[in-house]
A and B are shown apart, each in its own frame.
Chain A
Amino acid sequence: MDHGKKKDAPLKTADLLDSKCTRRSFLKGVSIAAAAGSAGLVTGGCGSVASSEEAKLKWDEFFKKNYRMMTQEEKDATVARLERLAKLQRGLDTRISTQEPLDNVLYGYAFNITRCKGYMDCVEACVQENNLDRQSKTQYIRIFEMDPGQLDPTSGDGKYYHEVPVEDKFYMGVQCFHCENAPCIKACPTKATWREPDGIVVVDYDWCIGCRYCMAACPYWGRRFNWGDPVVPKEEINTKQHYLGNRMRWKGVMEKCTFCVQRTRQGKLPACVDACPTGSRVFGNLLDPDSEIRFVLKNKKVFRFREELGTDPKFWYFMD
């Protein structure tokens, strides 16, 4: 954003000097635009400059609907605007998908606490895939180093940094569990977060007001808040994005694990599953009796974290 502004700055001053801009003519321009109710005319005030395209796009973005209320045309329009804005502001060719959920698919996840070695390849892959803020080190996944017999991550060490695995410890990963009966969804005052038909709990970043009620409501520490504008080096930005997933967020909005919606709806595994070198992470379609996740639920000892809360998470832990 800063980059674009700096580039346009000299043009802007030159333009302003050339045009005879009085207070009256400025107000006239604005009032015409307001009367017409058209976003395109609002820059008809003074200083319609080189950045007017960006300003117009931002203005149009401001008046879009909640994602769930949009028609496909409206989705296409906002995607086109966002992609153009990414090009103007960051010089990046991004592809933002609005791919719908697949029919007869309900995503489920299982985590093998016997196999996990605490390498945290998953954490790193998640950061790269989902364009997480490098400055505040936002991470969707936390791995806890646990003592034998413990099953509650609060008793574990979530900030270890030494050679792993350590003998007589096991490792337990926590991320968004995509609850069927999710407390975060109920807590949201603006309906900016909801559960998709394929079971993924998503956030419409444009409708999030950053109140953090969902963060307080989640018993699993599944949500992350952007205290500042996320910083991601340009060459590290993942340009394959989804509107409800890893598109760029900004200061003051909530974000969370989306089971890599941009990947999973294309039949791919989430980045964490793909990156795991130990095969501790199992992902699949809960509605398919032949899937790996169903095999785990049927044949292994499984449990869910804080099941007694009635949140009905779609994330199981299992052991060999």
Chain B
Amino acid sequence: MKILTLRFAFLLLPALMLLNSQLAIASQDSVLERIQAADQPFDNMQVESAHQLTVETVLAKESYQGGAFRVLARKDAISRYRCSVCHTKKTPQVRDGALITHGDIKINHGEGKNELGCIECHDRQDRDFLVDMEGQKIDFDHSYQLCGQCHFRPKRDWLGGAHGKRVNNWAGERVVMNCTSCHDPHSPAFKTKMPEAYSLPLEE
């Protein structure tokens, strides 16, 4: 009799332990369950330490799933902006040629017969602006409106957050990089280069 109960106990104990661990796993929500349950927007502005950005930004003319956001300003980065300083009605002097032409710019944007020229993006009349296919003037700071005409999928991802990146912070006001922050508009593909680091072989 004694032996029987002992054997029973031996069987029961692991069974109980198993049950216990099963319960412990069940009570812990998986990430996906927690994500699905979370439908209230997080107040990103409550994170005070994420407010100090020292970069020049502009309010975007479009919105993302969380409302309005800001993009990095572009005009500051263009060394010879405003363009209308040179592009005037005045006849250019030949001796200024080396200074005022854009010989340093190589266009490598679009392939074959789709290769772009200057006036595909730059306004023919008002050089301080870009121009889209419908003839609408576009500010240099809002170049995503221009790029998005052809690159509509990357633009959709950029608005949502799957393309491009935020500046410095995940919290605080949403500030994202502009298209031209990472891509050279005249030659937008990324270049090849040597890696920044070298990883030692894994031991195993």
Q: Which residues of A contact B (CB under 8 A)?
A: 102, 104-106, 108, 110, 112, 115, 117-121, 123-124, 127, 137, 139, 142-143, 158-165, 180-181, 221, 264, 266-269, 273-274, 276-279, 281-297, 299-300, 312, 314, 318, 320
Interface residues in B31-51 (C-beta closer than 8 Å to A): 31, 34-35, 38-42, 44, 46-50
A299 and B161 CA atoms in complex are apart in Å by 10
CB of A135 to closest CB in B, whole Å: 11
Q: Are A160 and B195 in contact (CB under 8 A)?
A: yes
Extra contacts, 18 of them, besides A266-B50, A279-B163, A279-B165 (Cβ < 8 A), are A110-B162, A119-B193, A142-B199, A159-B199, A164-B192, A164-B193, A266-B47, A267-B50, A281-B165, A282-B162, A289-B38, A291-B66, A292-B161, A294-B35, A295-B161, A296-B161, A300-B162, A320-B153
The count of A-to-B residue pairs whose CB atoms sit within 8 angstroms is: 167
* CB-contact partner of B170 in A158, A285, A289, under 8 A: A285
Chief secondary structure at chain A's binding surface: loop
Q: What is the bound-complex CA distance between A22 and B25, given in angstroms? A: 62
Q: A266-B47, A269-B169, A278-B182 are in contact. Are A161 and B198 (CB under 8 A)?
A: yes
CB atoms of A279 and B177 under 8 A apart: yes
Q: Mark B172-199, 1 if CB is under 8 A from A, else 0.
A: 1000010000100000001011111111
Closest to B161 in A: A292
Residues of B within 8 A of A273 (CB): 165
Chain A residues near B192 (CB, 8 Å)? 163-165
Give the Cβ gap from B4 to chain A, nearest Cβ, in Å.
Answer: 35
User: CB of B65 within 8 A of chain A?
Assistant: yes
Contact (A288, B41) CB under 8 Å given A163-B192, A163-B193: yes
Spell out B's residues near A (CB within 8 Å).
25, 28, 30-31, 34-35, 38-42, 44, 46-50, 64-67, 153-154, 157, 160-166, 168-172, 177, 182, 190, 192-202
Residue among B49, B67, B160 making CB contact with A295, cutoff 8 Å: B160
Residues of A within 8 A of B169 (CB): 267-269
Residues of A within 8 A of B163 (CB): 115, 279, 320
A contact residues around B160 at 8 Å (CB): 292, 295-296, 299
Contact A267-B47, Cβ < 8 Å, known A180-B31, A289-B41: yes
Question: Are A287 and B199 in contact, CB atoms less than 8 angstroms apart?
Answer: no
Residues of A within 8 A of B157 (CB): 299-300, 320
Instruction: Please name 8 pairs of A and B residues whose Cβ atoms are closer than 8 Å in the assembled complex, sorted by A.
Output: A115-B163, A139-B199, A181-B30, A267-B50, A268-B170, A290-B67, A320-B153, A320-B163
B195 and A120 within 8 A (CB): yes
Instruction: Give the residue of B46, B164, B165, B199 whose beta carbon is less than 8 angstroms from that of A158.
Output: B199
Q: A119 near B195 (CB under 8 angstroms)? A: yes
User: Complex formed: what's the CA distance from A112 to B190 in Å?
Assistant: 15
Contact B42 A164 (CB under 8 A): no
**Given that A137-B200, A139-B197, A320-B153 are known contacts, is A295 also in contact with B65, CB under 8 Å in the complex?**
yes
Residues of B within 8 A of A281 (CB): 165
Of the candidates A159, A181, A267, A291, which one forms a contact with B172 in the assembled complex, judged by CB atoms under 8 Å apart? A267
- List chain A residues, Cβ under 8 A from B199: 120, 123, 137, 139, 142-143, 158-159
Nearest-neighbour CB distance to chain B for A315, whole angstroms, equals: 10
How far, in angstroms, from A299 to B25 measured CA to CA in the complex?
Answer: 29
Instruction: Determine the chain A residues whose CB is within 8 A of the CB of B171 once the complex forms.
Output: 267, 285
Complex: how many Å from CA A274 to CA B172? 15
Chain A: minimal CB distance from B203 (Å):
10
Chain A residues with CB under 8 Å of B46's CB are 102
A196 smallest CB distance to B (angstroms)? 14
Find out whether the CB atom of B202 lies under 8 angstroms from the CB atom of A158: yes
Contact A268 B197, beta carbon cutoff 8 Å: no
